[in-house]
Amino acid sequence: MEKRLPPKLDREILKQLGTEQLVEIIIDQGKSIENLTNRVVELEKEIEKLKVSRDLETITLSTPPSGDILKKTEDKQEEKPEENQIRKRKPGAQPGHRGKRRKVFGGVDRIDLR
């Protein structure tokens, strides 16, 4: 894709041009401005993506890749669990549970003293 540079335009040259030529120059400049604006927007988006990936990069960090998950913003409030999701019992053995244990072996049969 070859890019052509617009000719140098100074006040004296523009005064000598006709109306049609001036209109063409203005239209060309408008198209160029639009193309450049679109390119700037694309590059800004790419920069943002690169910033995010740089922040998540774990190659040189001591954190595992699972730590790369984007954190939720702190602005959001934590969802409150519904009544049926609230724990009614503590984890572990419950009161009244007898429990199970391994059977104890009878004792030592012999001792090797080599």
Do 70 and 76 touch, CB atoms closer than 8 A? no
Q: Identify the pLDDT of residue 54.
A: 75
- pTM: predicted TM-score of the whole model, two decimal places: 0.42
Q: How far apart are CA 8 and CA 25, in angstroms?
A: 12
Q: Identify the pLDDT of residue 60.
A: 59
Structure tokens at 24: 């063409």
Q: From the centroid of its chain, how far is CA 54? A: 9
Q: Identify the pLDDT of residue 111.
A: 82
In this predicted structure, which of 3-17, 24-38, 52-66, 88-102 has the lowest mean pLDDT? Answer: 52-66
Residue ranges of domains in the chain: 39-64
Q: What is the share, in percent, of the chain residues with pLDDT greater than 70?
A: 65
Q: What is the pLDDT of residues 26-81, one digit of tens each?
A: 999 999 999 999 999 999 999 988 887 777 665 556 666 666 565 555 555 555 65
Q: What is the pLDDT of residues 55-66, one digit of tens each?
A: 766 555 666 666
Q: Identify the pLDDT of residue 45.
A: 93
Q: How far apart are CA 20 and CA 47, in angstroms?
A: 41
Structure tokens at 21: 């030529």
